[in-house]
Chain A
Amino acid sequence: MHARRFSITAAVLCVAAALLVCPGCGDGEKEMLFHAGVGQRSSLLDVQKVFEERHPGVHINFSFKGSGYFIADVARSKEGDLYLPGEEFYLLQAYERGYIEKYDPQRDVAAYFMVVIATPKGNPAGITKVEDLARPGVRVGLGNPKACAIGIWGEKTCKRAGIWEQVQKNQVQSAKCIAEVLTGVQQGIADATLLWSSSAVLALNDIEIVPLEPQYRGFVKLPLGITTFSKHPELARQLRDFIVSDEGKVIFRSHAYVTDAGPLDAEGFCTDGGRASEKDMQYLIAAAAAVKDHSLPVSEETVGPLVGEVTRQRMTTRAGDFEVPVARPAADGDK
């Protein structure tokens, strides 16, 4: 008797298993697939919210990963509609292989990464400028140039400042991705590091921002491409246009990306003395203070576009993915 009950239970469970697998088999709505660097998650989720609101029945799925994994993925799967890597190099690579439709390097830019100096909470080593990274005894965390774009930029920035030799002696970390660089400084393994502003902004409870002098301030273009095998090319085009529109830019700015980097030299360093980006840098520093000290006022005046970020990080001691209103252009907000 007992054994029979056992086999009946097993049979029922198998049927239940088969039924459970089926809901994934497909439904009527239009599903898009968006390949993107993991770092762009916060802004893209806001983009998704607005875009899905305006296109009922459309659902955007994201495949977040290191930008370099895209080629391996699509070479086999031939799936996905858009690609937004954290470096133009990756997009061009995909373009050369015929995975990306016509790409306009002027227009198809979502935003820019800006390089900043980050230190653990309280800035224990007293870092005030990039040259301090070369001071004996300062522990510097950097990315591995072979593994991630921030690693390349750590090296480039230090070379531009003429401190690369000494910084290499101070280096305590060679991280394989930017999240690891951020964790390093957040946990106090390093006294200082170089990060994108958009990554630094995520952990303002645990780190401080030190502005990078304009002549050493680098910017990295975030390009956007439509795949040649897109199943919804028209929607993909609309989504791209939305991201590069003013509305899209407001969203990216609200996550500490820079949308107006000003004139840059061939290597990507700022040439206007920081005129275009200085405000963004100051807002980020003010936001770092406001997240930690709840008595500081939070408004457009003090932290500029980062009101949402500061609000989110003030909710808990350790940052969580709480919903804050999506940033909209001023004209929209007035309505």
Chain B
Amino acid sequence: MTVEVLDSTDVFPTAKRRRWSTAIWPAAAVGCVSLVLLVYVALMAGNLAYLGLDDLAVFLGTKRLWVRVWLTVWTATVSTLLSLVVGIPAGYALSRLRLPWPKLTATLIDLPVMMPPAAAGWFLFGVATSFPMKHICDLLGLKFAHNPNGIVLVQFVVTVAFCTRLMKAGFDAVNPRFEQVSRSLGASLPTTLRRVTLPLAKNAILASTVIVWARAAAEWEGLMIFVGGTMGKTDVLPFSVYLDWNGALYGPVVTYSLVSVALAVASMGAVRLIGGKKYVW
């Protein structure tokens, strides 16, 4: 591992302190990173050792695992798409437009990021089971309780603010000069958006999408409260871990956990590949 030491003259002006700091801080930083990595490796290795490779092969071969993985993947994908539909325009608006009461608006948009998912689940429960949403849903025949629709809704509610926030950061990183030049050359706003802003923000958008997806796939507290856990119907991976742990099915529990971590690692790897060195958050 190589550590790039930034020129620290400005931060530590005296020669004496600079020598001390250039030695200590990188060492401490590398130490912390190694420690974190070590913990992760130990966790994975510990779980693998607990399960054993033979058992792992058996449990990876069970159909139920892959049914649950698929349910997790498709619900998270649908809810991410819905989040994007709202999040990209909202993020653009927050980044470029002068909204009335900017601080209040930004705080309100950020609210669900801070709110515990369980509380979000409970609020949804209240909204969906009272007037007028209940009647609208009844009319449309739309069911949420004990239904995959509910999973998508919870994931959407939990991730949409998160998504908006990420998209805002993405658009903030695009220099408005390019848009101004495009407009001054006669391109309309939609054309500028389509041909200048979105292509420039593409990497940030894609990287954010993966993060939003991973967050959606990990959601379960809100699910537990709003949708309810029905086996074979709404048991996404994080929920399966809880359910099978209750049945002392430690084999599947460890396997699901490992698969969840693998999904998370894969999605984060995708962020690195897509995002390159650009700051996303």
Q: Which residues of A contact B (CB under 8 A)?
A: 2-4, 6-7, 10, 13-14, 17, 20-21, 24-26, 33, 38-39, 41-42, 45, 61-65, 73, 76-77, 79, 177, 179, 182-183, 186, 199, 202-203, 206, 315-321
Contacts and interface: CB of A to CB of B under 8 A. Distances in A.
A318 B141 contact: no
A17 B126 CA distance: 26
B250 interface: yes
Contacts of A315: 58
Interface stretch (B14-22, B32-40, B101-109, B223-231): B223-231
Contacts, number: 124
B247 A61 contact: no
A65 B229 contact: yes
B250 A203 contact: yes
A77 B246 contact: no
A316 B53 CA distance: 11
A267 B264 CA distance: 50
A318 B129 contact: no
B137 to A, nearest CB: 12
B149 interface: yes
A201 to B, nearest CB: 9
A317 B58 CA distance: 11
23 contacts: A3-B198, A6-B202, A10-B84, A17-B81, A24-B148, A26-B141, A38-B243, A41-B246, A61-B233, A63-B146, A63-B230, A64-B229, A65-B224, A76-B126, A77-B129, A79-B146, A186-B250, A202-B247, A317-B51, A318-B251, A320-B62, A321-B244, A321-B247
Contacts of B248: 179, 182, 186, 199, 202-203, 319
Contacts of B74: 20
Contacts of B129: 76-77
Nearest to A3: B194
B199 interface: yes
Contacts of B59: 316, 320
Name B's interface SS: helix
Interface of B: 50-52, 54-55, 58-59, 62, 64, 74, 77-78, 81-82, 84-85, 125-126, 129, 141-143, 145-149, 152, 194-195, 198-199, 202, 224, 228-233, 243-252, 254
Contact of A321 (B202, B245, B252): B252
Given A3-B199, A316-B58, 13 more contacts: A3-B198, A13-B81, A14-B85, A21-B152, A24-B148, A26-B141, A42-B247, A61-B146, A64-B229, A77-B145, A199-B248, A316-B54, A316-B251
Given A14-B85, A21-B152, A64-B231, A33 B250 contact: no
A41 B232 CA distance: 13
A6 B203 CA distance: 13
B74 to A, nearest CB: 6
B258 to A, nearest CB: 12
